[in-house]
Structures are given as structure tokens and as C-alpha cells.
Structure 1
Amino acid sequence: MDRDGYVWWYVDALSADGRQGLTIIAFIGSVFSPYYAWDPTRDPFNHCAINVVLYGERANRFCMTERGRTALERDADHIRIGQSGLEWDGTTLTIRLDEVTAPIPTRVRGTVRIRPAGFTPGPHHLDGAGRHRWWPMAPNSPVEVKLREPDLSWRGTAYFDTNHGDTALEAAFTDWTWCRADLRDGAAILYDVHRRDGTDQDLTLCFAPDGTPREIAPPRRADLSRTRLWRMPRHTRSDDGRAEVLRTFEDTPFYARSHLAATLRGESVRPVHESLSLTRFSNPLVRLMLPFRMPRRT
């Protein structure tokens, strides 16, 4: 991996009743790290992290401790960063977590298991030069969450993807919105990217549970309310051009995560949605705020 590069593996899981959510991102070249942005060597292997976010009625916790290259182990089937790691055995992705929240330290410990029925074709290029690649490998898979700290267990569905890039995100994009929705038999994904060169790309994808692509008509733009605290702009797309924010999971200066109600492929769905502003992220004042939530350990 070259200077300024990155790779991440992303899991988004939601309980069957929609009341509990979990996001896990394993980074090499942590794209949202102020330490990576400030490092003159721009060595991605010296900026690794596992980001864990719990959402729900019983527990809300955020962990993202950055570590150096000595904390990283990886091969074709597993990656470990610090005390946490991901392992693939051919049928199941097992994620073992042992992380600490910040700024107030509490633990997140336990195991997450995802069992994909198959994988989608990929990857997709997000920029015109092909320097940023995205592969939604398993958009709709059974997931089992068993945490010891906090004491929390549930089952639901999970989305799993990976991203690879050769330059910093903020050098290529101004902002994007992404959402994924479980369907009765599969999943739909919307990914709308605004590039730094003024061009756009709006991806509308649909897959069966085994990863087979399905037809889906491009839905219409649906504007959403801004977030309450940081006034992050939000929009999505739906069949009828209408959508509703049911809950805002995360409201930060440059990123918002939400639970929506919308219609896709003729079905009433409850998408998980994110809005990211890389223009806001690039602001020096925003980067100075991040170490309070993203400590670094060597």
C-alpha cells in the first residue's frame, strides 16, 4: 500500500426489531484520523484502528483507538489490530472485540458472527481514475452479536463491504451519502458520490441474499432534515421521492448516521443511512476536535 493509501473493512448490523445497531470498521490507513493527516510520512500502516459504535435503547458506545504498525497482524484470512480482530474461516466472519471508549473509558468486549450466503460481483470504482474502489461484498447476511461488556446479545441482519484507495478521501470527494435497506428477499444499496472535480456518481444496486444482482429502477431524490446539533445536510432516494428520519444515531461536525423510513423496489423499508462531508472534515478546527474521541496508542 502506497503513501496516502487506505483499506477498510466495514460491518453494519441491525437487530431484528430495529432497536439495536452496531458498526465496526477495521482501518489500515485510518482515513478519518487527524494523526494520519498530520503525519509527514503518510505511512498507512502506522495508522490502524478498529472503530466500534453501539446504538440502541440499552447501550450507546463509541470506540476508535488508533495504533501503530506494531499492533497490526494480518494474512489472507485474518486481521488483528491491538486486542481486536476479524477472521474468515470460509463460511463465517468472526469479529472479536476488546476496545475502550473515549473520552470516558468503558469497555466493549464480545463476539460478532456474520454468515454470508454468497458474495456480490465487484468492486465498483467511485472516482473517474479508478483510485478508489468499493465492494459491497455481502449486503444482507444473518448476524449474531454476543457482548460481555456491555451485557448485550441479539440477532439480526448485517451488511459487509470493503474499500481500497490510493489517495486521501478528501482529495477525491467533497461529500457522499450511502444507505442500505433490507428487502423481503435481499438488499438495496444507494451510494451517491460528489467528486472534487465536480462530477457525480449515483449508484443504485440490488442483490439477492446470495449476492446475485437484481434489477432495480433508480429512485428519486428525497430531501431529509438537517441534523439537530451540527446541522449536517442529509438526503437520500426513494421510489416516491419521500423519506423520513426515524432516528439520528450519530450527529457529528462532518458525519451523520440515521435510521430512515422510505420505499424502495415497491417495498416499505427502514434503511440505515449516512451522510459524510469531506469538506467539513478537512477543516483544521474539526481535525483538532477529533483526538478527544480518537486517542492514539503506540
Structure 2
Amino acid sequence: MAPGGYAWWYVDGVSDDGRHGITIIAFLGSVFSPYYAWSGRADPLDHSAVNVVLYGRPKAWAMTERRRGSVRRDATSLSIGPSSLDWDGSVLTIRVDEVTSPLPSRLTGTIRVRPAGITPGPFTLDAEGRHRWWPLSPASRIEVAFERPSLRWNGHAYFDTNEGDVALEDSFRSWTWSRSTLRHGAAILYDVERRDGSRQDLSLRFDPDGTPQPIAPPVPAALPPTLWRLPRATRSDDGTAAVLCRFEDAPFYSRSLLSARICGEAVQPVHEALDLDRFRNPLVRLMLPFRMPRALR
């Protein structure tokens, strides 16, 4: 991986009863790391982390940044510290062994993601081709089994990967993204505002086997600002949407569970909004180590 670059693998899931949620992101060259930014972005692998977040009850957050010596990877597996991701061709198995922050406690468990199908390839998010997004499996099933805390559930999930050659904030001002599980497949809405003022707006429907097809962009739908007064919006068939549950609320980022209509169906999209102008603010970066400690070795 070249200096200044990044890669991440992202999984989110929501339980079938709607009571629980999870997000797992494995970062190489952590895009939101203040340490990576302060280092001059010389060595991506020296700024790697596994971010694990549990929503509902119990709640938990873990994201410890680790150095190059804690990273092991090959064609089918990635280990960052004591946590790992392994792909056997049909199931992604994630083993979590982390310490929560800011209050330390153990977070240990196993998550299995079972894709219904794999999509054919990545999308480019910028005109220069420096940022690639591959929604590997928009329609997946997930099995969550934690020992600490004690927690088990099954649900629907989403799995993607991103890679890039330069910092996100150098290329983009903001984006909103959502993924919805449909009766047959999934839908993704991805509206990107680039740093040069141009846009990349993707509205996609995926068959259960991963086959993508573009759809007409649904109508813009306003959402209330977050507790940090972060503006956000989404799209829906009828131009209306509501926030059901707030998952993450940071000065520059939010993740929520919505209700909306997409592709003629009543759905509950997982939605995120990202403001990279806010992320560039030095005061915001000074706040991040409280949630993202860095291991000493």
C-alpha cells in the first residue's frame, strides 16, 4: 500500500427484531485517524485498527489503533492485533478481541457474514479514479455471538470494501449513503459531493445474487440535523423519511436507522452522513483520541 493510501472492510448488520445492530470496520491506513494525519500519512500499515460498535442493549465501542507489527494479511485473511477477518469463499468470519473505550472492558465474540451473492466489481467515486468502492454483498445474513458481553442474534447485513490513494478529505467535501434490505435483494443510495464541486450520485438496486442495476434516483428527503447540528438528508420514493434510531453521533459523522420507501417497499435503511470539512477542523481531530486510543506497540 502506497504512502497516503488506505483500505477498509465494512460490515453492518441489524437484528431481525430490530433491537440490535452492529458495525465492524477493519482499517489499514485509518482514514479517520488523527495519528495518521499528524504523521504525514507516510506509512498506512502503521495506522491500522478494528472498529467494533454494538447498538441497542448492551452498547459498546472499541477502536484501538495499532502499529505495523500488529498487522498480518494474505489473500483470504487479515489480522490487526488480536482481532481477525477470514474469508473461506462463502462465509466471512470475524473474530473480535478488543477493549472498549473510553471506559475499558473486554469485547470478545465471533461474527459470521453469509453473502447471498457477490457483486461484479468496484465503482470509482472521484474523477481521477483515486477512490474505489466495492459493495461486495449488499444482501447478506449475519450471525452475532459475543461472550463479553453475552449477546446472540441473527439478522440482515451489508458488506463492502473501500480503497484509495489519497486522504478522503483531499477529494471530497461530504457524502450521504444508505443501504436498504429489500424483499429480493438490496438498494444503495450514495450521493457524493467532491472537493471540486462536482458530484457522484449513485442509485442502485442489487438482485440477491449481487447483480447491480441502476435505478432512477428517488426524491430528496430531508432529515433533522444531529445533536452536533450536522446537516443530513436522504432519498425516498415519496420524499419523506424518518429517523428511527440514532447509532452514531459525532461532530463530523452520523449513522442512523431510518424508515422510508425505496423501490416501492417500506424499508428501514442504515444511513450515514459524513462532513469532511468538519473532519479537517483541528479541534475535531484533537477530540478523536478519546474514542480512538493508539497502542504503544
Does the Cα contact within 8 Å between 1:139 and 1:211 map onto a contact in 2? yes
> What is the alpha-carbon distance in structure 2 between the residues aligned to residue 214 and residue 121 of structure 1?
11
Which residue of 2 is the match for residue 266 of structure 1?
264
* Aligned equivalent of 2:233, options 229, 232, 235: 235
In the TM superposition, residue 247 of structure 1 has moved relative to its aligned partner by 1.4
Aligned partners of 2:234 and 2:99: how far apart in 1?
33
Within 5 Å, which residues of 2 pair with 1:58-73?
58-73=57-72
Deviations 1:195-216 (A, max 9, x none): 0000011100111111012453
Hey, what does 1:83 align to over in structure 2? Answer: 82
User: Over residues 227-264 of structure 1, what are the superposed CA-to-partner deviations in whole Å (9 max), with x where a residue is unaligned?
Assistant: 1x211111000111111111111111111111101000
One-letter amino acid of the counterpart of residue 55, structure 1: Y
Matched, 1:152 2:129: no
Unpaired stretches in structure 2, ≥5 consecutive residues: none
* Inter-partner Cα distance in structure 2 for 1:77 and 1:123: 18
Distance 2:186 2:102 in 1: 36
Query: Structure 1: which 5+ residue stretches go unaligned?
Result: none
Assess if the C-alpha contact under 8 Å between 2:218 and 2:235 holds in 1: yes
Q: Which residue of 1 aligns with 2:8?
A: 8
TM-score by length of 2: 0.98
- Equivalent residue letter for 2:62: C
User: Which is worse superposed, 240-249 or 212-221?
Assistant: 212-221
Distance 1:247 1:160 in 2: 21
Contact 2:117 2:139 in 1 (8 A): no
Instruction: Tell me how far 1:181 sits from its aligned partner.
Output: 0.5
Given that 2:108 and 2:146 are in contact with CA atoms closer than 8 Å, whether structure 1 keeps it comes out as yes
Contact 1:217 1:265 in 2 (8 A): no
Whether 1:114 and 2:100 are equivalent positions in the alignment is no
Distance 1:10 1:246, change over 3 A: same
For 2:4, give the aligned amino acid: D
Q: Post-superposition shift, 1:116? A: 1.1
Aligned residues: 296
Percent sequence identity over matched residues? 64
Paired amino acid for 1:94: T
Q: Which letter maps to 1:236?
A: T
Q: Does 2:184 correspond to 1:176?
A: no
Equivalents in 2 of 1:245, 1:209: separation in Å? 26
Going from structure 1 to structure 2, the CA distance change for 1:213 and 1:31 (only over 3 Å counts) comes to: same
Equivalent of residue 278 in structure 1, options 259, 272, 276 = 276
Q: Distance in 1 between matches of 2:214 and 2:48?
A: 37
**2:244 aligned residue:** 246
Deviations 1:88-113 (A, max 9, x none): 01111000000111111012110000
Report the AA paired with residue 230 of structure 2: M
Alignment of 1:88-167 (within 5 A): 88-167=87-166
Q: Is the 8 A contact 2:48 2:80 kept in 1?
A: yes
Where does residue 223 of structure 1 map in the other structure?
222
Distance 1:264 1:41, change over 3 A: closer
Aligned to 2:212, the other structure's residue is in SS state coil
Equivalent residue for 2:198? 199
CA positional deviation for 1:78: 0.1
Alignment-derived partner of residue 293 in structure 2: 295
- Indicate the SS of the match to 2:217: coil
- What does residue 54 of structure 1 align with? 54
Residue type matched to 1:247 in 2?
A: C
Quote the offset at 1:118 in angstroms. Answer: 1.5
Code of the residue aligned with 1:152 in structure 2: it is: L
Superposed CA offset, 1:157-202 (max 9, x none): 1100000100000000011001000001110001110000000111
Paired with 2:90 and 2:257, the residues of 1 have a C-alpha distance of: 29
Does the 8 A contact of 1:85 with 1:95 survive in 2?
Answer: yes
Shift, 1:40, TM fit: 3.0
**Residue of structure 2 in register with 1:23 after alignment:** 23
Corresponding residue SS for 1:221: strand
Q: Deviations over 1:118-152 (max 9, x none)?
A: 21122000000000000000001111000001100
* Matched AA of 1:99: E
- Deviation of the 1:117 alpha carbon: 2.2
Report the AA paired with residue 39 of structure 1: S
